[in-house]
Structure 1
Amino acid sequence: MCGLTGFLGRSALEHRDAVNGVLTHMAQAIESRGPDAFGAWADPEAGIALAHRRLAIVDLTPAGAQPMVAAGGRYVLAFNGEIYNHLKLRQELDCFGASPLAMTANRSWRGHSDTETLLAGFEAWGVEATLKRAIGMFAFALWDREQRVLTLGRDRLGEKPLYYGWQGQGANAVFLFGSEVSALRRHPDFAAPINRDALALYMRHNCIGGEHSIYQGIHKLLPGHLLNLAAWQTEPRVWAWWSAGEVAQRGVAMPFAGSPEQAVDELEALLSSAVGQQMVADVPLGAFLSGGVDSSTVVALMQAQSSRPVKTFSIGFHEAGYNEAEHAKAVAQHLGTEHTELYVSAQQALDVIPKLPTLYAEPFADSSQIPTYLVSQLARQHVTVSLSGDAGDELFCGYNRYQMTARLWGKLQRVPKPLRRAAAAAITAVPPARWDSLGRFLPVARLGDKLHKGAALLGYTTVAELYRGLVSHWPEPDALVLGAHEPASVLSGSQPEIQGLNEVERMMALDMLSYLPDDILAKVDRAAMGVSLETRVPMLDHRVVEFAWSLPLGYKLRGGVTKWPLREVLYRHVPRELIERPKMGFGVPIDHWLRGPLRDWAENLLSESRLRQEGFFNPAPIRQKWAEHLSGQRNWQYHLWDVLMFQAWLEAK
């Protein structure tokens, strides 16, 4: 796992000494992504410069150093990621071009890095054909010295990030790219203003999704996409080399024909293969373990293939509603892993908050970023690579909103719209505090807050509206962010053409296209890379993804049980009584902290005078929610955290 950056633009390369200085400065911004080595390569005549920060995982020798020049000399590659089947690809390359009667190795390899394998594939098969053969996670910048064309590429599901965009004007324009926007900002020509439209998108979803970034003119390369830019061009060509939407559509159209039990057998075989491939490393390796279905399945399959106890890591909180450490410990004891846990004090968690603006480089407000950073920090004390159970919910129907939609939407539709609207108006007419007092004899915390949130659902007329409402924080961000027009996204205005999916399947597909790469994977990548830890996600092996989408929804949500096939795989290794319990999010008590130890910090960032002076937000709705939250009348932790994380980022940038 590494970090890369660079730029294309002839005028920027007139002085080689200055170029090396700029490359070094840009790469320093992403040093935590690759603390082991720095490499740079430039061709001033062609106008291209590449820099690389290395976290050595496979082939720790100088033979794995980057940027790497292909054996034939045509290509130069800066690569971030892992190709898990690269040894198999080497075997194919060794025989490539040989006669059927002489299938012997005909290639001399300098080392055993997957970067060298990838370069050889590009030379032999071309870029796109090589990527389609590859199993892995990656982002890369490839320079074709013969054609003078830059190619940027990103893995299928978006595990690794890649940003790009033009800065400067006319003949002095320079095309910047890198693993994080912090690297682009280090270039002397970077002058992009804040993108208010992207800020509106952030306020809706607590992250900046799709191709957008917080800066005007700076974009993210979408998952499964390639970009080409020749030295003489001004507009890059961007296209998809793999489509998650097409995989979902194809899987539903051509479903798995076997029995549910056969589906479990096939899933276990595929996941075991993915886990086994991702356990290959030349450095210590372990896994995150929360004690839930997804991480427990990954760890169980790791331990089944390991002759030694797998190293597992979890963190716990003393607040009961946020602690899963005891469940993780029970699973670890059953499997016989070498388990390390850390119970985090409130102060330890609070100490992470000042790091977040730099760690994420853009505004990012999923508050589970805090425990994700802490468990990454814990793991990095013992290993350099950690596997995770991410993506199980999106692939196997695990989120509560899927089950709720499947169970309630049909019934809700039968209620006339005017009656639904009247019921919603009646509920919201009673203040939450009054509902709380009326329901004081019921075992329901914050009854009024929950009723008000539920009332909003009654007004939706389609599942698309329902889904967008469920995944939205600020429902009208244009009214909150001054001068903003919320851009279209896969959730509004530019929904992908995915045919044949039912309502729940469409929600799952949209999560795979948006929430998974924009929130979950970004959260884990930035937190882990901030402590120089590589994370790997076996469930995002594209063979597993394609098989999961071929399973009928009735296999995934079976008899009211979510993630049924995944659970059945797990129960072959772990007793179900260690797993079956209510789903718990990976979070921290932000709501309590904002009323307690974070109150002064938040008040400073949310002061009306400050908000007016900075000029990004309409202060009124923010101040109203802050007052309601402090009084205990409502729980606005997620809305307020969105604002606070932007404010903290703005202060630190």
Structure 2
Amino acid sequence: MSGLCGYLNLRRDAEFGARPLSARTASMARFDGSPVSIVTEEPCGIGVAAAAAAVSLYQEPGLMAAVWGHASLDGSADQLANRLVAKWRARGAQACADLSGHFALCIVDGSTGSVLLAVDRSGVHTMHYQSDQRGLLFATSPAALPAGELDPQSLFDYLYFHMIPAPRGVYRHQHRLQPGEYLLYRRGRLERSVYWRMRFREERSVPFVALKSQFLGALRASVRQAASGNDHIGAFLSGGTDSSTLAGLLERPARTYSIGFDVDGYDEMAYARIAARHFGTDHHEYYLTAGDVADAIPQIAAASAQPFGNSSVVPAYFCAQMARADGVTRLLGGDGGDELFGGNERYARQALFARYEQWPSSVRQLLLEPLLFGLAGGWQAPLLRKARSYVEQALLPMPARLESYNLLQRYGAARVLDGEFLASVDEAAPLGQLHACYWEAHGLSQINRMQALDLRYTLADNDLRKVSLACELAGVEPAFPFLSDALLTFSACLPPSDKLNGTRLRYFFKHALREHLPRAILRKKKHGFGMPFGHWLLTDVRLRELAFDSLADLKARRIVRPDFIDRLTQTLVHEHAAYHGTMVWVLMMLEQWLQQHAIPPRAAAPADAAEIAAGPAPTA
């Protein structure tokens, strides 16, 4: 391990149909004992140019350091990689803890045979890696790593979560760092560890007035920082509290972009218009159609480095595409606000279930439960059915209770998945991951434990990947002001009752921004860019044919049972299109991903039991 061989690769992908897939960045290197060799290809397209400008590179004989993204060290972004090397020599792997902002980094030190990889505290940027007897291969995008054999456990996780959560990747032996993690590779050994974790303080120590001033100062600074260095700024605007807040805090009249749906119950454009008028933004709208969705599906599947089943990526993509056509090169997204300040509806719902645990056990176990499930178990009065459902869910322990509506669990994995495929995976692994993450914050309030869970699974593995993919396709750089280090720290010190007061969501956030946001925005329920796929599935022939043909092709892969696909397409979606349409989308995007990445049927070979038991990533 006396040297380094690597390259930074900024490449342009091919075009798909009439819509160009914008240039996207993939930076990779191999540490394999060869002489130093750095090759940088010229970027093309605004999307790549923006990313290329945010790379700090330092190189000397036997050593290379690179930082991707927008980061600073000791308050300065100047000569970032150079100063990072000095920290590395003084502090070793803990050098990454001194960086702030959103970044992925690598330090390759041939003199010690070491490589350090790390990503930011929120996982805005990603780092993927795999190792073998030749050394370590790592990349900021898994597309830059060589494809191998599909990992059945990862495919199962996709069907459970509708994405593949870190640290696994879709291919065996490929892994991804989680938020706030580093990987230290030293002379053939891998050590993955945490350099940062959310540390909650639950007692109130600051009066509301001072807390509000601190919050607004940190929020304004975060927006300024996210917009700095770019004169072509825009913002997603769903009409919710987060996107509206950001649009109103941009110093110049903001250019805002919204997506609407001409379907009852889905369109939120009225709230976006309220926010746009209130803040005087230069507002742009587009109404998405089923035809747009059919056009975008193959493009999104081809651009995704691994299967991704969040349908909101489509409206996000068209929103970013509209902004790019308007000359915008950076889009601010409100992602993170729900997780940091108590905005998810399930927080209030789970608080109601938690109240049941506070009842005396004698009342619950000796009176109420025997009555509901015993003496009155056969009665089907609506009020009794509702009471039984409430108690059944309340009796589930956290975090399993959060998955009580999980589609794969509701259908039953054995009824959905091919028997041989199911035998090759650990069905309990996804819930085991959630359980481990939830109880890392042992002893804290339920809302903060749920926040820690959502920061990883809802945000880093899902929403951030959705927005990043949409912006990448459109050639726009995303930015996430709510995920600044200052606001992460502020949220950690915010008392639980200020996030969720009884069942009132965003209690502190809404009070602090009462003078900033329109009253209608403060009162609206969360919606975002949800898409009426189930409705279009029944009303649009072209989209339905694309979806059902994809599911028919999926039958040959021995992952999903053919009889379940038939039942889903012939019966279930006609009974409840919105509910069962979600599973149609998830399965369609899996097959589309497999097709677009030229993976033939039966490529998903069973994993051996030893690999499943060992887990996804070795540690020292």
TM over 0.5: yes
**Partner residue, 2:549:** 604
Other-structure match for 2:130:
165
Structure 1 residue 143 and structure 2 residue 108: aligned? yes
SS, match of residue 474 in structure 2: coil
Name the structure 2 match of 1:376.
Answer: 320
Matches within 5 A, 1:145-544: 145-166=110-131, 170=133, 173=134, 175-185=136-146, 190=147, 192-230=148-186, 232-233=187-188, 235-244=189-198, 247-248=199-200, 251-252=201-202, 255-302=203-250, 306=251, 308-381=252-325, 382-411=327-356, 415=364, 416-417=368-369, 458=393, 460-470=395-405, 473-475=408-410, 476-477=412-413, 480-481=416-417, 482=421, 483-486=424-427, 487-488=429-430, 489-492=432-435, 495-544=438-487
Cα separation, 2, equivalents of 1:214 and 1:30: 22
Q: What is the aligned partner in structure 2 of residue 118 from structure 1?
A: 81
Partner of 1:131: helix, strand, or coil?
Answer: helix
Contact 1:316/1:324 (<8 A) preserved: yes
Greater shift in the superposed pair: 270-279 or 213-222:
270-279
C-alpha contact (below 8 Å) 2:12/2:23 kept by paired residues: no
Give the direction of change, closer, same or farther, for the CA distance of 1:115–1:515 in structure 2 (3 Å limit).
farther
CA distance in 2, matches of 1:193, 1:116: 40
The answer to whether the 8 A contact 2:103-2:124 is kept is yes
Alignment partner, residue 89 of structure 1: 75
Counterpart of 1:644? 588
Identical residues among aligned pairs (%): 25
**Contact in 2 for aligned 1:40/1:52 (Cα 8 Å):** no
Residue 558 (structure 1) aligned with residue 501 (structure 2): yes
Give per-residue Cα distances to partners, 1:483-513, cap 9 Å, x unaligned. 3223354314565422221223322221123
TM-score normalised by the chain length of structure 2: 0.81
C-alpha change, 1:490 and 1:147, in structure 2 (3 Å) is: same
Mapped to 2, the partners of 1:63 and 1:158 lie a distance apart of: 19
Q: Which residue of 1 aligns with 2:608?
A: none
**8 Å Cα contact 1:155-1:223 kept in structure 2:** yes
Deviation at 1:33, TM superposition (A): 10
Quote the RMSD (CA, aligned, Å). 3.9
Q: What is the CA-CA distance between 1:589 and the residue it aligns to?
A: 0.7
Distance 1:650 1:628 in 2: 26
Q: CA deviation at 1:636?
A: 0.8
Q: Write the letter of the residue equivalent to 1:582.
A: K
Per the alignment, in what secondary structure is the counterpart of residue 89 of structure 1? Answer: coil
> Would the aligned equivalents of 1:392 and 1:398 in 2 still touch at CA under 8 Å?
yes
Q: Which residue of 1 aligns with 2:57?
A: 68
Please state whether the residue corresponding to 2:136 is helix, strand or coil.
Answer: strand
More moved, 621-630 vs 371-380: 621-630
Q: Measure the CA separation in 2 of the matches of 1:275 and 1:123.
A: 30
Aligned-partner Cα distance in 2 for 1:201–1:409: 28
- Structure 1 counterpart of 2:79, which letter? E
**Residues 311, 118 of structure 1: CA spacing in aligned structure 2 closer, same or farther, 3 A cutoff?**
farther
Normalized against structure 1, the TM-score is what? 0.77
Task: Tell me if structure 1 keeps the 8 A contact 2:434–2:453.
Answer: yes
| 2:399 counterpart letter in structure 1 | A
> In structure 2, what is the Cα distance between the partners aligned to 1:510 and 1:205?
13
Which residue number in structure 2 is paired with residue 620 of structure 1? 563
Residue by residue, what CA displacement relative to the aligned partner does 1:508-540 show, whole Å, maximum 9, x if unpaired? 221123221111111111111222211111111
Q: What is the DSSP-based 3-state SS (H/G/I as helix, E as strand, rest coil) of the residue aligned with 1:312?
A: strand
Q: 1:153 is paired with a residue of what secondary structure? A: strand
**Aligned equivalents of 1:119, 1:242: Cα separation in 2:** 22
3-state secondary structure, aligned to 1:398: coil
- How far apart, CA to CA, are the structure 1 residues paired with 2:476 and 2:36? 30
Once the two structures are overlaid, the 10-residue window that deviates more, 52-61 or 481-490, is 52-61
Output the CA distance in 2 between the equivalents of 1:59 and 1:526: 13
Aligned counterparts of 1:39 and 1:518: Cα–Cα separation in 2: 20
Three-state SS of the structure 2 residue aligned to 1:332 is helix
Give CA deviations for 1:23-73 in whole Å, capped at 9, x if unaligned: 76x945699999499999899863666666758999989995967334x66
| Structure 1 residue 479: Cα displacement | 6.2
Shift of 1:237: 1.7
Q: 1 CA distance for matches of 2:506 and 2:280?
A: 25
The alpha-carbon distance between structure 1 residues 240 and 493, as it changes in their structure 2 partners (threshold 3 A), is closer
AA aligned opposite 2:425: A
CA deviation map 1:393-417 (0-9, x unaligned): 1111111111112134323775544
CA deviation string 1:269-325 (max 9, x = no partner)? 1111211222211451221111111111122222xxx2x312222222222422222
| Equivalent residue letter for 2:539 | G
Count of aligned pairs: 570
Q: In the alignment, which residue of structure 2 is the partner of 1:103?
A: none
CA distance in 1, matches of 2:403, 2:48: 45
Matched with 1:583 is 526
For 2:604, the equivalent position in structure 1 comes to none
- Change in Cα spacing, 1:239 to 1:340, as seen in structure 2 (3 Å) is same
Query: Conserved in 1, the CA contact under 8 Å of 2:373 and 2:388?
Result: no
Q: Amino acid of the residue matched to residue 162 of structure 1? A: M
**Letter of the aligned partner of 2:550 in structure 1?**
L
**1:154–1:224 contact (8 Å) kept in structure 2:** yes
Distance change (3 Å), C-alpha of 1:478 and 1:532? farther
Using a 3 Å threshold, how does the CA distance of structure 1 residues 36 and 212 change in structure 2: closer, same or farther? closer
TM-fit CA distance, 1:136: 0.8
Tell me how far 1:639 sits from its aligned partner.
Answer: 2.2
Measured against aligned partners, the alpha-carbon deviations of 1:581-606 in whole angstroms (never above 9, x if no partner) come to 23224211111122232222222222
The letter of the residue matching 1:319 is V
Quote the Cα distance in structure 1 between the aligned partners of 2:58 and 2:156. Answer: 42
Asked whether the 8 Å contact 1:473–1:638 carries over to 2, the reply is no
Cα distance, 1:121 vs structure 2: 3.2
Q: Which residue of 1 aligns with 2:67?
A: 79
- What secondary structure does 1:626 align onto? helix
CA contact (8 A) 2:181 2:193 kept: yes
For residues 194 and 14 of structure 2, what CA distance do their matches in structure 1 show? 27
Q: Which amino acid aligns with 2:462?
A: D
Aligned partners of 1:204 and 1:472 also within 8 Å: yes
Higher mean C-alpha deviation, range 318-327 or range 31-40 = 31-40
In the alignment, is the contact (CA less than 8 A) between 1:155 and 1:224 conserved in 2?
Answer: yes
User: Which residue identity lines up with residue 265 of structure 1 in the other structure?
Assistant: S
The alpha carbon displacement at 1:570 in A equals 2.7
Instruction: Describe the shift of the 1:79–1:554 C-alpha distance in structure 2 as closer, same or farther (beyond 3 A).
Output: same
* 2:404 counterpart SS class: helix
SS of residue matched to 2:434: coil
- Mapped partners of 2:416, 2:349: distance in 1: 30
Match of 1:591, SS state, is helix
- Distance across 1 between alignment mates of 2:525 and 2:207: 28
Q: For the residues of structure 1 that align with 2:308 and 2:117, how far apart are their CA atoms? A: 24
Q: Which residue of 1 aligns with 2:511?
A: 568
Instruction: Report if aligned partners of 2:233, 2:255 keep a CA contact under 8 Å in 1.
Output: yes
Q: Contact 2:182/2:192 (CA < 8 Å) preserved in 1? A: yes
Q: Which residue of 2 aligns with 1:445?
A: none
Quote the residue 2:607 is aligned against. Answer: none
Name the SS for the 2:107 alignment partner: strand
